[in-house]
Structure 1
């Protein structure tokens, strides 16, 4: 406060010209400006030339919190610009990670070298690639263990007919058997349960020793994996029939798996072809090339 009072000039005349008799002229820069604007410009220039930190008034409990004048921020930016201009960027250059306008956090953010930032970016990229790989595995078919066969099953209801499909592949992904069965149910859930029963009958027919039946019907798979006797009433009878067939295959190990529908794409490709051509029965292996089904245009 003393500085503000003592800085008030005792005279409006410049000290060097106080005893001159020549008339004074107003600088053309200030000619026409409002006095309030001149005062604000003068005070603003004084504040910018002498950066100070406003301290709260101890006698006033409602005084504002301490803030920084714009000149502090201007100095921060100019110092960074000076560093960029005179210091070459190298791998050991320190990158200042912080928010110069924030005064609520007393502790500055940690500084990192360019090498550390590059390492962080590479780790994030690797984690992103790993995440994408996990997602792609989640939505793609996976082979069974060695010496096992995987039966991918699917079902679709078309008008008054229900088409059931089972595609059998070995541990290297080759199709070893595939078939289409026909039924007349109208419930999609019942159709899915019948697809598992169809695969179980194929396992018994061909005396398969180790098999995985994989579908995209969670209710059916949960009932089969837990050997539930209280499965949903709509499919409980079919689930018990699957257990009855399994109990007759004393030397057979069967597991049940639920996957995303995209993992059963080959089974549904067979169903689409069968509905167009009104076909059911065993599909020739020659109609499969790798993970694709290429059936004739008509039968």
Structure 2
């Protein structure tokens, strides 16, 4: 049973109702198989623009396009029955105006079947959030470190330290007041994340923030040890699937070169034999 207490598909309204209760569980998903795994255990499946780095080898999220997000959104939708599907609006597809954001967000929802979109930015995006939510598009906000603003921040640095805490706090208040149903707090000091969680009425979803947040999100490939280009401090590795996959591929290559694979049980003879269920003769 999820934090929302629902066996049926989670909705943004149910996410809001989970404020202050059992923490919400969120992981990224970019493919149908991963969506099926996430759906079993999570309240929210985020089709993040991190897909550009994790699956497409891009140096940042800035090169991700709307078509890429729609393609991965469709794939994830096929694997979900329970979790709320939220899809990132990529850089350059919503900042120009509320009208641009609505045009692209409505296309995203229509073509992927997602239940909400996510966009980055605080006070500067409040008008856009209000515009979208007023027209039937649920919005998850994202403040603190916003990866699409990496060039402005000068890297993936902690946000909200010292005098900067007032800016991040104001951003969180602004998106809540504008109608966002939840807000991601990324890479902000623990005390600030705790304060924001206590002060705003919508759930906070932490990533590099605080256990006091109303939920947590990680990139699934990070916590599974499949994406190893870098390892942020806030990532806990629950498995090392990348290393296991590398060992398996090494063993396969050795078997092929030594002609140990395919073995007798993997090839077909002149006379048909009883095949395992689901196989062909």
TM-score by length of 2: 0.27
Structure exhibiting the larger radius of gyration computed from Cα positions: 1
Task: Using structure 1 for the length normalisation, give the TM-score.
Answer: 0.26
